[in-house]
A and B are shown apart, each in its own frame.
Chain A
Amino acid sequence: MTAQTHSAAEYALELRGIDKHFGAVHANKNIDLKVEKGTIHGIVGENGAGKSTLMSIIYGFYEADQGDIAIDGQVLKIRDSKTAIASGIGMVHQHFMLIQNFTALENVVLGAESGELIDDSLDKARTELNRLSDEFGLSVPLDQPVEELSVGFQQRIEILKALYRGARILILDEPTGVLTPQETEHLFKVLDSLKAQGTTVILITHKLREILAATDNVSVMRRGEMVAHVKTAETNQEELAELMVGRKVLLQVDKGDSAPGDVKLSVRNLSMTDSAGVKRLDNVSLDVRAGEIVGIAGVSGNGQSELLETLAGITPVDSGTIDLNGHTLDVQHPMNPSQVRKAGIGHIPEDRHRMGLINTFSAYEAFVLGYHRNQEYNGALQMKQGAIIEDCKEKMERWDVRPQDPYLKTANFSGGNQQKLVIAREIEQNPDVLLIGQPTRGVDIGAIESIHKRILEMRDAGKAILLVSVELDEIRSLSDRILVMFDGTIVGEVPADKADERTLGLMMANIVPDDIKALQAEEPA
């Protein structure tokens, strides 16, 4: 333990005995944390482990019930984010807090104007920002509206915002969720140069690989407690995962070879333009056979959602043809979501809150959404509530949905259990084709393992599965073939064994490496 030899002032941030309750929920239990000056410190933990609460306390959104926060060795009372900013803390939120139609420069100055006249502030900020960009490799087009910039640039603006306000401790909350692997790499370079200049960085993430790649030290949280502080160089993914979950977890599911059969889902030249006139899908063609998982990789917002929703009958087709398990879906033959379901297609939507569930419904009601007109659930007039509840109980038990209470409101289940509810509902109807979007978004590591196993079981049972995910690890560990989407088109196809991160990353930025090009040229179109 080298920590004891340091004097207090060598810690940029020190937390002692931080405790926070929300009603009956004990969100942070007696948390101690020491972050050495000029290091990158990772904090990992599952959803609901208390990471966000802790960061909100540091940033002054919440006040701790007990405990002290010391910055540079000095104990401070941080009552609001103003105090936090004044003491040199900067935060980059997971969801960017930018005004879309303001320029980068205006966004940076917003709330930190230096005088009555905005022009003076802008001039002053421009000089300062140019200096910061040069120093840290954070160049951003300052005069373009934010809405025209990529998420990578938007994130840099957030970082610049914090630095412009004099941040010496920079907290980043899940910063890589929306970035391509290359953008992520660049971000880590920026963090390194910040570190070289003496800035302390706290990186919150659930991606263990990134922790290992970017940090010096790492702290692990579980159920509101700090369970471990380790040096990054002395640990590995398996150990961190075990610390996070509290038991051994399989990070990689065992997958046998696939035995593809007939084509069950076939898309030809599908295009779709949204109401704003933006082309969301551009001439997309793909096939999914029985007994295989076709993964669609890509940075979120490149047409994956639109593809899934068009296949599910939610968005109408503009042009092109879809063959859904022997049923034609095109402009002349539109199908609505319930007809698509009847054709033997199951759909696990990307966003369970927006689509998959009705949050005000009890679990048993949410459990029949989309199948609520099925004969087994309906009498002449009345829905067969008793039968639905029995059915729900049985499936909850089989899928280990907790708590096993069909009357509980869906909003009150944890993310993982909500997702299991949706997956159980769709899979238990035994569809021939499964459309799956982001199956493990916001789901705990423990639950991810069981969801992945179920998806593979479906494949081995001969179902055709189309899997959309922005988590590259997930795509790589489940898919038999991988298609990469960029800007509404399919950039190319990669067999699972050739799908290393670099290749996929390049393709996600619309660059097809030569070996993949050669591979595609060999295959008959």
Chain B
Amino acid sequence: MSQHRIPAWITVGVIPLANVAMAALAAALVFWYLNINPLDALQAMVYGAFGSSYGWGYTLYYMTSYIFTGLAVAVVFQAGMFNIGGEGQAYIGALGVGLVCLGLGGHVPFIVLLPISIIAAFVFGGLWALIPAWLQAKRGSHIVITTIMFNFIAASLMNYLLINFMKPAGTMSVESAVFDPSSWIPKMHEALALIGISIDRSPLNLSMFWALFVAFAVWFFLWRTRWGYEVRAMGSNASGAQYGGISIPGTVIMIMIIGGGLAGFMALNVVQGEAHQIKLNLVNQMGFTGIAVALMGRNHPFGIVIASLLFGFLTQGGSELQFEYSVDARIVVVLQGLVILFSGALQNMMKHPIERLYLRVTSNRRKASEELAAEA
């Protein structure tokens, strides 16, 4: 039975905004409990995230990471699977980037090194996802379980490698040597200075443009190529896909490599763009936050860019809040949690009333215009 259609501006505009507004209201209660005026808190967050080019720099830097880890979840979700392994895939991607920068940095020009480190990030992250993918495709081991386990394995492996092989002799902290400066991805403030625009120093680097391009490329892949067609067919109806001659194991393996590779790209931003060395726990939960980003962005690349900006704002604004009011650093996690709760778990709470309201308004309007027409 065909229902009246709900226009897109309601589905992708009004409803998500209403969900975020609900989350903001709940957050206001939290601040009220903490004896912080919610409006002051909001102002501090907005100012902290967008009030200066410094704030913008951090917000967009976080956004860049979230785009990569969000896409890593979303492409796999389009194939009907849940990739919980972004955390580990990004960590191993960092190993790839680190090896390239440590090995080639200073020996080859940046223009040669950059493509190699991009490929390394993708290949290392992708291969880390390949093992769970193979287990799922050939042995039926559930990918949610195996990717979670592979996060732990990645963490242990990196501990081992950092302590035993990568830590320069005579240092105490568990991190690799600093890369040769010629291998660093230029910072945004440096790049803009070249064309005469001056902004504050921040971690934001040129990998942001790569993130935006990759988001577009993922959209193109999913909705314009036959491989994307096969992925979406499988995600929506696996037996229909099989009927259509699509190899289920093959598609599982392909899409997981792509997902892992996308998560690996995060290392370009965090390692090659900012830290310039491999550090312990460098992913810092961003892989997991990618799940929330994908959820919020409705698993669509463009939605993910917007959701990443929101989560970038929460991360940066939340840490400003922490300085300003000396609340616990985990306030950021609380805020993210509320956004996830209202826009993910409770998304239908606002959806149905809004849709019903829209239908009632339009049907009243239609009736009124029909009556007018009848009178005329």
Contacts and interface: CB of A to CB of B under 8 A. Distances in A.
B90 interface: no
Interface string A457-501: 000000000000000000000000000000000000000000000
Interface string A59-70: 000000000000
Given A24-B3, A355-B243, A372-B229, A383 B237 contact: no
Contacts of A378: 226
Contacts of B29: none
Contacts of A341: 245
B359 interface: yes
Given A25-B2, A372-B229, A372-B230, A347 B237 contact: no
Interface string A341-360: 10000010100001111111
Interface in A315-352: 336-341, 347, 349
A372 B251 CA distance: 15
Given A337-B245, A382-B224, A383-B229, A23 B240 contact: no
B236 interface: yes
A25 B3 contact: yes
A354 B240 CA distance: 6
B51 interface: no
Given A341-B245, A349-B243, A354-B240, A369 B226 contact: no
B242 to A, nearest CB: 6
A312 B243 contact: yes
Contacts of B232: 358, 360-361
B237 A359 contact: yes
B247 A354 contact: no
A369 B233 contact: yes
A23 B245 contact: no
A336 B245 contact: yes
B74 to A, nearest CB: 15
A354 to B, nearest CB: 5
A370 interface: yes
A290 to B, nearest CB: 24
A381 interface: yes
Contacts of A358: 232-233, 236-237, 240-241
Given A365-B229, A383-B229, A356 B243 contact: yes
B3 A369 contact: no
Interface string B213-243: 0000000100011100110110011011111
B106 interface: no
A494 B233 CA distance: 40
A336 B247 contact: yes
A22 B236 CA distance: 27
Contact of A355 (B3, B4, B224, B240): B240
Nearest to B242: A314
A354 B239 contact: yes
A23 B4 contact: yes
A453 B88 CA distance: 58
A377 B359 CA distance: 39
B373 interface: no
Contacts of A356: 240, 243
A412 interface: yes
Interface in A377-417: 377-378, 381-383, 385, 412
Contacts of B226: 372-373, 377-378, 383
Interface string A179-202: 000000000000000000000000
18 contacts: A23-B3, A23-B359, A24-B2, A24-B3, A312-B243, A314-B243, A337-B244, A354-B240, A355-B242, A355-B243, A359-B236, A361-B233, A361-B236, A369-B240, A370-B244, A378-B226, A381-B225, A382-B220
Interface of B: 1-4, 220, 224-226, 229-230, 232-233, 236-237, 239-247, 359, 363
Given A337-B243, A365-B229, 14 more contacts: A25-B1, A48-B1, A336-B245, A338-B244, A338-B245, A355-B240, A356-B243, A358-B237, A377-B226, A378-B226, A381-B225, A382-B224, A385-B224, A412-B2
